[in-house]
Amino acid sequence: MKILVINCGSSSLKFQLIDSASEEVLCKGLCERIGIDGSVIGYTPAGKDKIVKEVPMPDHNKAIELVIEALTDPETGVVKELSEIDAVGHRIVHGGEAFTKSVIINDEVIKAIEDVSDLAPLHNPANLIGVRACMKAMPGVPMVAVFDTAFHQTMPEEAYLYGVWYGYYEKFRVRRYGFHGTSHAYVSAKAAEILGKPYDSLKTIVCHLGNGASVSAVKEGRCIDTSMGLTPLEGLLMGTRSGDLDPSVVEYIANKEGTDIKNVMNILNKKSGVYGLSGDLSSDFRDLEAGYNKGDAGAIRAVNTFAYRVVKYIGAYAAAMNGVDCICFTAGVGENSPMVRKLVLERLGYLGVTLDEEANSTRGKEICISGPDSRVKALVVPTNEELAIARDTAALVK
């Protein structure tokens, strides 16, 4: 089957066309600046050079039209006709408690996604715009929703509840949901495959370290805890997000700066994390690593604090699972930063972790980076959320 995978944001739309049998990517691309001046579509058909076109895209309907044009172009296209596309898999950020797995989209599902939109006001409405645009452009083609939160729905109550008045959970569903679930599920299952062990026999900690970052504890194939919460702001330090802090910090900064909660939340989401700690140097670990190696105090402060927080979560999750067999690194930083992986793993001697420095010096590929004597395996497992979405979609529409 040919599956179109769509990840739709408020002004961007990422897409991949994947052959679900061979798992080959037939074309991948990105529409940027949708609804803004200077819209651009860029895409790479398999085996061909990247094509970039500046075309006005006043809305997502136009973006989808251009994606379809790109896929069916007589010269550079990868399918002859639109009818060759069997299904569309959509990344949906928040499924609340309603969705514990991927589902075929119908009116009821759209309504349920709308119902939890106030939990992800920036993401869910944008995701739904993509769903509706595809439905309009490809009537009759089955659409599947794959949720970032679904994998974490197996968390027990003691892990997902906040220590606030229980009525807030009952009335407003205030609880921890977790995100990056598609990645945590894919990477933890892949780790079992790499180790040649049954998925349901392992205790795995997945460190998804990208611009957004989260850690999860996967025990016997089920997520039992994860570091993001009601929203993706909780947990690790991230590119620009603060991660965990005392909620009183919000009120304190608001009072000191003479501003409101909304502004402080914006600072915590957009100007904090390694970006804020580095003294506004960068949110990108390529810049931070370069700064670290040159002795830049801000970069050193940011990278060390980032790594320290990962170490703390690994310790917490080893405790939560009463042990750990495998620690995985994935996403932009996890796959590409030997420095961060080393700063984390060298502090896990108490778990019996040893590091294979040479293996760890590689970037962007699947590899075991723990030493042969390590009691816990440490792996780099490149994530592939698009493939996971395509697999779920193919399985549901079969």
The three-class DSSP label of residue 371 is coil
Q: In degrees rounded to 5, what are phi and psi of residue 156?
A: -75, 160
Given 285, 313, 317, 329, the residue binding ligand ADP (CB under 6 A):
285
Given 67, 218, 331, 343, the residue binding ligand ADP (CB under 6 A):
331
Nearest distance from C-beta of residue 209 to ligand ADP, angstroms: 8
Nearest distance from C-beta of residue 214 to ligand ADP, angstroms: 10
Q: Binding of ligand ADP at residue 332 (CB under 6 A)?
A: yes
Tokens representing 393 are 């979609």
Given 336, 354, 384, 393, the residue binding ligand ADP (CB under 6 A):
336
- The DSSP output letter for 4 is E
Q: Binding of ligand ADP at residue 286 (CB under 6 A)?
A: yes
Q: Binding of ligand ADP at residue 131 (CB under 6 A)?
A: no
The three-class DSSP label of residue 276 is helix
- The DSSP output letter for 121 is T
Q: Which of residues 363-382 bind ligand ADP (CB under 6 A)?
A: 363
Contact pattern from residue 235 through residue 254 relative to ligand ADP, giving x for each residue in contact according to CB under 6 A and a dash for the rest: ----x---------------
Residue type, 102: S
Q: In degrees rounded to 5, what are phi and psi of residue 17?
A: -105, 120
Candidate ranges 44-52, 162-170, 208-216, 316-324; the one touching ligand ADP (CB under 6 A)? 208-216
Q: Cα separations (Å) of 280 from 288, 305, 308?
A: 11, 15, 20
**Of all helices (H) and strands (E), which one includes residue 208?**
strand 203-209
- 348 neighbors 369 (Cβ within 8 angstroms): no
Q: Binding of ligand ADP at residue 50 (CB under 6 A)?
A: no
Q: Binding of ligand ADP at residue 292 (CB under 6 A)?
A: no
Q: Which of residues 211-230 bind ligand ADP (CB under 6 A)?
A: 211-212
Quick one: 325 or 335, whose CB is closer to ligand ADP?
335
Q: Cα separations (Å) of 36 from 11, 55, 64, 133, 296?
A: 8, 11, 16, 18, 37
Between strands 326-330 and 143-147, the pairing is unpaired
Q: Cα separations (Å) of 136 from 106, 125, 174?
A: 14, 16, 34
Nearest distance from C-beta of residue 324 to ligand ADP, angstroms: 23
Quick one: 186 or 285, whose CB is closer to ligand ADP?
285
Residues 6 or more apart from 294 whose CB is under 8 A from it? none
- The DSSP output letter for 152 is G
Q: Residues touching ligand ADP: how many (CB under 6 A)?
A: 14
CA–CA gap between residue 330 and residue 2 (Å, rounded)? 26
Nearest distance from C-beta of residue 337 to ligand ADP, angstroms: 4
Quick one: 284 or 366, whose CB is closer to ligand ADP?
284
**Of all helices (H) and strands (E), which one includes residue 145?**
strand 143-147
Which position among 148, 296, 325, 392 bears the catalytic label? 148
Candidate ranges 18-26, 139-147, 207-215, 342-350; the one touching ligand ADP (CB under 6 A)? 207-215
> Is 19 marked active-site?
no
What does the chain come to in residues? 398
Given 32, 86, 244, 284, the residue binding ligand ADP (CB under 6 A):
284
Nearest distance from C-beta of residue 11 to ligand ADP, angstroms: 14
Candidate ranges 119-127, 146-154, 291-299, 332-340; the one touching ligand ADP (CB under 6 A)? 332-340
Ordered DSSP codes for 17-38: EEETTTTEEEEEEEEESTTSSS
Other Cβ atoms closer than 10 A to 22: 8
Q: What residues are annotated to the active site?
A: 148
Applying CB under 6 A, which residues contact ligand ADP? 210-212, 239, 284-286, 289, 331-333, 336-337, 363
